[in-house]
Amino acid sequence: MTSTLRTLHFKLLTHGTGQGAPHSCDQEILRKYDVVPSVVCAMCCLFGIIYCFFGYRCFKAIMFLTGLMFGSIVIFMLCYKERVLDTQLSMEVSVGIGLGIGILCGLVTMLVRSVGLFMVGLLLGLLVAVATLVVLEQFYHPHTVWVPIGLLLGAGMFFAVLTLQWQRFFTVLSTAVFGSAVITVTVDYFIELFLLVQYIYERVKVAPVQPVCWYSWVILGVWPVLTSLGVLVQFKVTAEGYSHTEVFISRRQRRVQLMRIRQKDNKRKRRKHHKKYQEPVYRRKPTPVRRYDGDVLSPSYIQNFRERQTGGGAPSSTHTMIDVDYDCSSTVPLTAATPAVRV
């Protein structure tokens, strides 16, 4: 197991350090496949297909795998290249520590959506930066390593922010680009044993340029073709009608919600029906004041009284209080025998 991991890890370093002779295009490649790297590449090819064509549909799984990959690779490189507590860790221990922390990172990216989207956008930016370095090498060769480092960091942060803003589009784009890149790497392994990956790795390290065979460019052309196909398939088939912001509920909860919605609709319909056919409401009239005979003086009595007062007769000793200006409609006669009237 140790020899297999070392072979897989240092496969790229043998060519880059000059330990192996440069490969000629006319020379036939000696393909000697190991069991473990072949199985790993086959599994990566399967995950690449899922990433490329079903990435947005499997949103939670993609978030977990992205965090697992970033956490495992970073921690593995730190543990294997650096001394921990003045001790050089072995390959197996570094892999175990990397997987453990990678699982924790995957859980964080899966449960915290913003962190997962940031990592997905960062991955897209890194891949775009690598493709830019490969294209830039055909016109200009950088002389300092800060050029690829700045390009990688700048593109990664830029696309991470864009992914947080437009989540659906850039998630689909990132999964298609990464899935097609993984498929391209596995094809490169089974055809030319990572010669294309070695060339890309040298572009990141700003190593001297070595010639690349024509079939390496054909393998590299698989990347944009699969990317375009993956984006098209996801938008038209697998990701259509699906949103990662939807909350999945059980059947029982769905029935309860439907029942509540129906009850609210029925109440609303009853209120509308009641308002439409409701009889007009009449206000209650105030109770009329009851009057008795004798409360009001008749106009005939007032006329008669005035005539007697103006007739020259002496006024009676008893004071009489009469409201002359009171208007009424009572026709009840009052007799003249009454000496005084109080109202």
CA distance 1 to 96: 13
pLDDT above 60: residue 294:
no
- The answer to which of 33-47, 106-120, 209-223, 294-308 has the lowest mean pLDDT is 294-308
Each residue's pLDDT tens digit, 198-216: 888 888 888 887 777 888 8
Q: How far is CA 299 from CA 50, 275, 320, 326, 327, in A?
A: 109, 53, 16, 10, 9
Query: Coil, strand or helix: which one is 312?
Result: coil
Nearest to 343 by CA among 326, 315, 323: 323
| Confidence at residue 160, expressed as pLDDT on a 0 to 100 scale | 92
Can you read off the two tokens belonging to residue 286? 């105030």
DSSP state of 335: -
| Confidence at residue 129, expressed as pLDDT on a 0 to 100 scale | 92
| Confidence at residue 17, expressed as pLDDT on a 0 to 100 scale | 39
pLDDT above 50: residue 324:
no
pLDDT band at 330 (very low <50, low <70, confident <90, very high): very low
pLDDT above 70: residue 95:
yes
- The answer to which of 59-68, 111-120, 124-133, 302-311 has the lowest mean pLDDT is 302-311
